[in-house]
């Protein structure tokens, strides 16, 4: 009888421990996939909204007017989208126009260097997630894939007119964001989700 009771108790303990294992939080891969999906959605919406506004500015007043728009409206636009999506949306670039887009934290610099090295090897750049105790950081490369972008970010004299270059120099005296060609690596979206 004691042997039967012992076997019964052990089987109950093992069945409970199996249930506990099944009830554990999501596996890291599924968390990564969830945040990759959210980051892709938010970055796609943010990029579409920014491009829509820049395109409207280009139609209204040309590249010089679009530069003024970016100078005044781009960061507030990102701030309003950040509030809307309950995250922090930021663009970063080593060849930045606005100094606020310069990579700041160690992980930002590290990720930009990794993207640049991967690009220089001719390999494709992919979104990536970095997990921290208090946040999830999503990074997605920004590529120069529209010819219209070259009017403000291409080669001066070839793509950028003298008038546009004058406006860039006036608003961004330390500009680094010219000299790009189509399909160049331009920078990255960084989206931070709180935990």
In the three-class reduction of DSSP (H, G, I as helix; E, B as strand; rest coil), residue 192 is classed as strand
In a domain, 129, yes or no: yes
Q: Does any domain span residue 10?
A: no
What distance lies between CA 162 and its chain's CA centroid?
31
**pLDDT by residue, tens only, the chain of 195 residues:** 443 333 333 343 334 434 333 333 456 688 899 999 999 999 999 999 999 999 999 999 999 999 998 999 998 999 999 999 999 999 999 999 999 999 998 899 999 999 999 999 999 999 999 999 999 999 999 999 999 999 999 999 899 999 999 999 999 999 999 999 999 999 999 999 998
Are 143 and 187 contacting, i.e. CB atoms less than 8 angstroms apart? no
Containing structural domain, residue 172: 29-194
Please report the sign of the dihedral spanned by the C-alpha atoms of residue 118, residue 122, residue 123, residue 128: positive
- For residue 155, being part of any structural domain is answered with yes
Tokens of 121: 């090897």
Q: How many domains does the chain have?
A: 1
- Find the helix packing angle between 28-85 and 162-171, rounded to 10°: 90
11 domain-assigned: no
| pTM given for the model | 0.82
Looking at the domain assignment, is residue 174 inside a domain? Answer: yes
Nearest to 90 by CA among 57, 165, 79: 79
Neighbours of 106 (CB within 10 A): 8
């Amino acid at each position: 009888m004691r042997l039967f009771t012992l076997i019964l108790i052990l089987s109950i303990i093992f069945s409970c421990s199996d249930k506990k294992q099944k009830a554990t939080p999501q596996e890291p891969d599924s968390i990564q996939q969830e945040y990759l999906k959210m980051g892709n959605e938010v970055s796609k919406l943010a990029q579409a909204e920014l491009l829509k506004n820049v395109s409207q500015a280009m139609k209204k007043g040309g590249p010089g007017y679009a530069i003024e728009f970016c100078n005044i409206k781009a960061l507030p636009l990102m701030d309003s989208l950040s509030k809307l999506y309950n995250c922090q949306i930021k663009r970063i670039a080593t060849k930045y126009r606005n100094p606020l887009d310069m990579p700041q934290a160690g992980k930002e610099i590290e990720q930009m260097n990794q993207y640049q090295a991967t690009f220089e090897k001719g390999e494709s750049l992919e979104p990536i997630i970095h997990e921290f105790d208090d946040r999830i950081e999503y990074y997605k490369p920004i590529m120069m894939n529209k010819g219209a972008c070259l009017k403000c970010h291409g080669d001066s004299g070839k793509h950028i007119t003298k008038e546009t270059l004058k406006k860039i120099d006036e608003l961004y005296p330390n500009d680094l964001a010219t000299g790009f060609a189509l399909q160049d690596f331009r920078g990255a979206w960084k989206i931070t989700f709180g935990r």
